[in-house]
Amino acid sequence: MASDGTDVNGDGAVKRRSWGGLLSGSLSAKFIVTVTPIFLGVFLACIVIETWHSYEKSRAEIIHRMNTLAASQSIILAESVADRDTEHLSLMLASIISEPNLIGIAVHDKDGNVLDSFGTLDGAEPDFVKTISVNYTEGSEVRRVGTLKLVVTDRNLREEIRDQLIEHTVLGVMLLAAALAASVFAHRRTVTKPLGKLVSAINESRGDALEKVDWQSDDEIGRVIAAYNDMQERLAGYERELRASRELLEHRVEERTEDLERAREAAVEANRVKSKFLSSMSHEFRTPMNAILGFTQVLQMSPDIHDDDRLKDRLGKIEESARNLMALLDEIMEFARLESTTNDLHLEDIDPNTLIEETVTMVAPLAEARHIAITRSDEPRPAGQVRADAFKLRKALFHVLSNAVKYNSPGGSARIGCRTEDGYVRFEITDTGPGIPTHLAGDIFEPFNRLGREAGNIGGSGIGLTLTRRLVESMSGDISFESEEGMGTTFVIRVPAVS
């Protein structure tokens, strides 16, 4: 805060303060407001006590002096009072009245009649009246001949004391003002100034590393600033370490990014080579396989074997195996294609009920051959559409529904249905088959894992569900299942609904 009542705020701008604000916002002002009444109170109490004490002392002295005067004068005046020598008495009283503080004096005879008097005799409080007997001694006889009355006032003393009080007060106020000014000055130098420096350092270094404060003293403020400077040094150290580790991290990220880029390029290249290999391998497989199929059919049509049932049966098996091999080849090719391509997705709005009907139609021959009934669940059909790739979703539903038919119990059934759930269309395919053993459930989406059915009489390559999951996930959907051994299995495929 500047001496003219202005203050430097956080952003260095100078603003003018009201006196109310000054008192609440400045340490010096608070110091003055707190200390002044205490100083003033103590000082006034001291002056009052000291003045009262000196008044009481001086008054006691006056009274003592008057008592002594009364005692001595009663002896001196005794003869004149006894002789009723008023002339002499007048002279004597005139000399006594000149005593300071004495405002009245009177001599009475033994009957109380005034023989002579001077000044005011009716002393009002706090004036002091002293009456003493005047005794005359004749030989051995002491006789009371009258009374001496002295009226004493401390008016002069009171005036003197009042002047003294005023003088002391003025002097004291001046001293107090000087002491306060000196205290404020010292307070500013030792408290306000270093605190101001500390506040400026904190405000100026907002956001950056903290500034150091240039201040040294061996008091509490000095210790606070030394601790602040120490903290500033440590923070600067941390800041340096942080910057260094950030740079190191950035450098590492760059290195890793380059490595990843190289790895990605290598993977793309490997994928290209793999696709090339697969397509040539597929071609290499298909050519002899087509030849096998073609010649088998030619042989089947040959009139030489018409009557040979054994040969016809064997030729039928060759044809079936060849077709199975071709189907397996197709699945492997599709799996490989899904692995290598991610964005050949043709999303459109599709009616899920139509999809279900198409799927049921596709699976119907298999179901018929195996005597499995396919039913449509009677839950309310969703009115909305599903956002998906029609070909891929149909294929996924086909895989799961054909599994429900394949892995079913004799005379069993499969049920398919769908409904809307939390922004998804949820397809449910339930069968009445033997179910999936709990300990094998974790392997079901693993490629080429048939959960121990390799030796059974149900054909398959163990890749259908792996493919299905890839297809569903490529459309931002998911697949899950619940199964109870001996009771059946329910597969759930969810794909985003059209919002």
Ligand X SMILES: Nc1ncnc2c1ncn2[C@@H]1O[C@H](COP(=O)(O)OP(=O)(O)OP(=O)(O)O)[C@@H](O)[C@H]1O
Binding region for ligand X (CB under 6 A): 331, 403-404, 407, 431, 433, 436, 444, 450-451, 453, 460-466, 489
Contact call for residue 433 and Mg ion (CB under 5 A) = no
Q: Contact 489/483 with Cβ under 8 angstroms?
A: yes
> At its nearest, how many Å lie between Mg ion and the CB of residue 460?
5
Residue 464 sits in the site that holds Mg ion (CB under 5 A): yes
Closest residue to ligand X, judged by C-beta, is 464
Nearest distance from residue 403's CB to Mg ion, in Å? Answer: 4
Rounded CA separation 235/223 (Å): 18
**Could you give the CA distance from residue 169 to residue 163 in angstroms, rounded to a whole number?**
10
Residue showing the smallest CB distance to Mg ion in the complex: 464
Span from 52-60, 140-148, 383-391, 456-464 in contact with Mg ion (CB under 5 A): 456-464
CB atoms within 10 A of CB 204: 13
Residues contacting Mg ion: total by CB under 5 A: 2
Chosen from Mg ion, ligand X, none, partner binding at 412 (C-beta under 5 to 8 Å by type): none
Task: Show the tokens assigned to 60.
Answer: 């006691």
**Extended beta strands in 139-231, E state:** 141-152
Query: Residue 463 in contact with residue 447, Cβ under 8 Å?
Result: yes
Contact 89, 77 (CB under 8 A): yes
Q: Which is nearer to Mg ion, 311 or 366 (CB)?
A: 366
> Residue 70's binding partner, choosing from ligand X, Mg ion, none, with beta-carbon cut-off 5 to 8 A by kind?
none
Q: How far is the CB of 417 from ligand X (least distance, A)?
A: 16
Question: 391 to 410, contacts with Mg ion by CB under 5 A?
Answer: 403
Whether residue 424 contacts residue 494, with contact meaning beta carbons closer than 8 Å, is answered with yes
Integer CA distances (angstroms), 18 to 187, 218, 238, 495, in order:
21, 34, 42, 69
Q: Which is nearer to Mg ion, 108 or 406 (CB)?
A: 406
Distance CA 486, CA 402 (A): 19
Cβ distance to ligand X smaller for residue 30 or 453: 453
CB of 326 to ligand X, least distance (A): 13
Number of Cα atoms under 13 Å in the Cβ half of residue 194: 20
Does position 489 bind Mg ion by CB under 5 A?
Answer: no
Among candidate residues 189, 470, 465, 191, the one with its CA nearest the CA of residue 338: 470
Cβ of residue 266: shortest distance to ligand X, in angstroms? 30
The piece of 53-61, 445-453, 460-468, 469-477 that touches Mg ion (CB under 5 A) is: 460-468
- CB closer to ligand X, 315 vs 372: 372
Quick one: tokens of 331?
């699945």
- Choose between 10 and 456: whose C-beta lies nearer to ligand X: 456
**Residues listed for the chain:** 499
**Where does this chain bind Mg ion (CB under 5 A)?**
403, 464
